[in-house]
Amino acid sequence: MDRTLTLLGIESSCDDTAAAVVRLDADRPRLLSSDVLGQIALHAAFGGVVPEIAARAHAERLDGVVEDALSKAGVALGDLDAIAVTAGPGLIGGVLSGVMLARGLAAATGLPLIAVNHLAGHALTPRLTDDVDFPYLMLLVSGGHCQFLLVEAVDRFRRLGGTIDDAPGEAFDKTAKLLALPQPGGPSVEEEAASGDPARFQFPRPLLDREGCDMSFSGLKTALLRARDTLIAAQGGLTRQDRHDLCAGFQAAVAEVLAIKTARAVAMAGVQLRAVCVAGGVAANRTIRSGLEGVAARAGLPFVAPPLRLCTDNAAMIAWVGIERLRAGLPVELDFVARPRWPLDDRAPAQLGSGKKGAKA
Ligand code: KG4
Ligand code: ZN
């Protein structure tokens, strides 16, 4: 189909205020603009995202971010075919800020408004960046999420498993905190680990003995805390090498668990996959990435990791879901509501204890 579609995407479900314009031209996606305004500094003093502060910041900044995205794309509202907005899951105040702005724009222009699931945005990104065909495996690993999805169609996702407690990014952040390293923890732990010996400390590989591809990461930080305290008790503090080795041991444990469980998810999918894909901030980690690459290679499958700016929260992925839905002829839901929780796979059992950090996915 050679229809041209130009969509504005709006994302405000956690602590990034984002807008983007994506065009489908001769069946090829083109990213015309993608603006992301983060809020790390606003929440830094509180040790986590404060929903009220996030919602207010979104409300104040969304207009400007949308204007910026349109002007960078060289597109006027009248050039759009539709608007796509994150309608959940997420922190409800932020989601509402985005939905209200999008409703206003749609009412003023008469454009269709498409309600997008934020997780579908992450899950469908490999099709925006690498034209991956269905079905494929998606490992979503971020600060608030960790799950394996079998992506079967634009609107069909099967959850194969995921964390039963912390997300890996959260574990990296807590590890950094325990070792007095800067936040976000992932990049600092990775940097420390580069000069460390991953074999000096044997950290647990939780749930490997359990069938399936569920994971657990909360025990890892307790093990790290114990190792740290044992060293401090014995020597009165930590040497730089201790810190390197602790980070390397922790990172090796996370990478090994993710790789082994990914191999299991490939086997559990029960269909001929087209690719193994990863998204989320943790996908930036080179040790984790190369572990997953190895799994894909052994399964004879391509490994697809979108560029980091499209792996982490952004609005291009939201616009893209809108395009995918229109292209697939799915109906535009007129009467949607903003939803704090919105599982992609309704058939999967509710995850007790997951998503403790809140909504960031
Ligand atoms: O996807 P993202 O930007 O936001 C969430 O949706 O959570 O992911 C942020 C998370 C943080 O926990 C951060 O520590 C982690 O991704 N992260 C990393 C690395 N870079 C970011 N974790 C491990 N290694 C990295 N290089
Ligand atoms: Zn996300």
Question: In the chain, pLDDT over 70 holds for what percent of residues?
Answer: 96
SS3 106: helix
* pLDDT band at residue 301 using 50, 70 and 90 as cut-offs: very high
158 within 8 A of 150, measured Cβ to Cβ: yes
Nearest partner of 119 among 356, 346, 353, judged by Cα:
346
Decide: helix, strand or coil at residue 153.
Answer: strand
pLDDT of residue 47 exceeding 70: no
Name the average pLDDT for the chain. Answer: 92
pLDDT at 352 over 70: no
pLDDT at residue 144, rounded to an integer: 83
Cβ proximity of 85 and 9 under 8 Å = yes
CA distance from start to end of the chain: 32
* pLDDT of 46 over the 80 cut: no
Q: Specify whether the CB–CB gap between 104 and 354 falls below 8 A.
A: no
Ligand 1 atom nearest the C-alpha of 144 is 7
Residue-wise pLDDT tens digits, 267-291: 999 999 999 999 988 999 999 999 9
| CA of residue 115 relative to chain centroid, distance | 18
Question: Cβ atoms within 10 A of the Cβ of 358, count?
Answer: 17
Residue 192 φ/ψ region, left for φ over 0, alpha for ψ in the -120 to 50 degree band, beta for the rest: alpha
**What pLDDT, on the 0 to 100 scale, is given for residue 184?**
85
Q: What is the pLDDT of residue 50?
A: 78
Strands 82-88 and 28-38: unpaired
- What pLDDT shows up at residue 2? 63
**CA 348 to ligand 1 centroid distance, Å:** 25
| Contact (CB, 8 A) for 21 and 70 | yes
- Judged by its nearest atom, the ligand closest to the C-alpha of residue 176 is 1
pLDDT at 7 over 70: yes
Q: Model confidence over 138-193: pLDDT tens digits?
A: 999 988 889 999 999 999 999 999 999 999 999 999 999 999 998 889 999 999 99
Q: Which of 14, 49, 122, 142 gets mutated to test ligand 1 (max ligand atoms within 8 A of its CB)?
A: 142
User: Exposed, middle or buried: residue 9 (CB in 10 Å: 0-12, 13-18, 19+)?
Assistant: buried
Let me know: does 258 contact 120? Beta carbons within 8 Å. no
Distance 199 CA to ligand 2 centre (A): 33
Q: Higher confidence at residue 303 or residue 345?
A: 303
Residue 361 alpha carbon to ligand 2 centre in Å: 4
Residue with token string 């031209």: 25
pLDDT average, residue stretch 85-100: 94
Please answer whether residues 102 and 336 qualify as being in contact, where contact means their C-beta atoms are separated by less than 8 angstroms: no
**Angstrom distance (rounded) from CA 338 to CA 116:** 10
Summarize pLDDT for 189-234 with one digit per residue, the tens: 999 999 999 999 999 999 988 899 999 999 998 999 999 999 999 9
Q: Model pTM?
A: 0.92
Q: What is the pLDDT of residues 101-132, one digit of tens each?
A: 999 999 999 999 999 999 999 999 999 999 99
Q: Which residues line ligand 1 (CB under 6 A)?
A: 142-144, 169-170, 172-173, 184-187, 190, 280-282, 284-285, 312-313, 360-361
**How distant, in Å, are the alpha carbons of 250, 269, 297 from that of 294?**
20, 18, 5
